[in-house]
Structure 1
Amino acid sequence: MPYIHIKVTDENVTNEQKRALIQGATNLMVKVLNKDPKTTFVVIDEVHTDNWGIGYKQVSEIRKLSD
């Protein structure tokens, strides 16, 4: 029973994109490991950019600098 945990920043990820992630991750488990999609779990967490850091900075800071 595979469990796939996807974390993304909460920057307007649409339901369509989430469906595509779930389908794609499930399909990968089916193709690579021959897992049953009915028992493959996918969880998507959206993390606020203040709570995600890259190279000493919050993603929210990095986004402000790139505007």
Structure 2
Amino acid sequence: MPLIQVNMLQGRPPEKKEQLIEELTWKVAEILECPKENIRVMINEMPPEHWGIAGESVKKRRAKEEK
């Protein structure tokens, strides 16, 4: 049973997450030639202060960009 984990920042609309789940499922089913009923998708959303890039949280980087 394929399990796809997606880690991303919080903030995307629910309909986009639904689309992501649907399209990932179909593409993996196609590539692996397995039933879509066997595929699981888990979306892990993190707040910007829990995601770091180059030694800074995304929250801090965004605040700097807004100035």
Q: Distance in 1 between matches of 2:18 and 2:4?
A: 14
Which residue is equivalent to 1:22?
21
Q: Deviations over 1:9-60 (max 9, x none)?
A: 01x2111001111011111111211121101000111101111001111000
Q: Distance in 2 between matches of 1:25 and 1:6?
A: 10
Runs of 4+ in 1 over 2 A off after TM superposition: none
Identity among equivalent pairs (%): 26
Query: What's the C-alpha RMSD, in Å, of the aligned pairs?
Result: 0.9
Instruction: Give secondary structure in 1 for the equivalent of 2:12.
Output: coil
Q: Distance in 2 between matches of 1:28 and 1:66?
A: 36
Q: What is the aligned residue count? A: 66
TM-score (norm 1): 0.91
Structure 1: unaligned runs, 5 residues or longer: none
Instruction: Give secondary structure in 2 for the equivalent of 1:13.
Output: coil
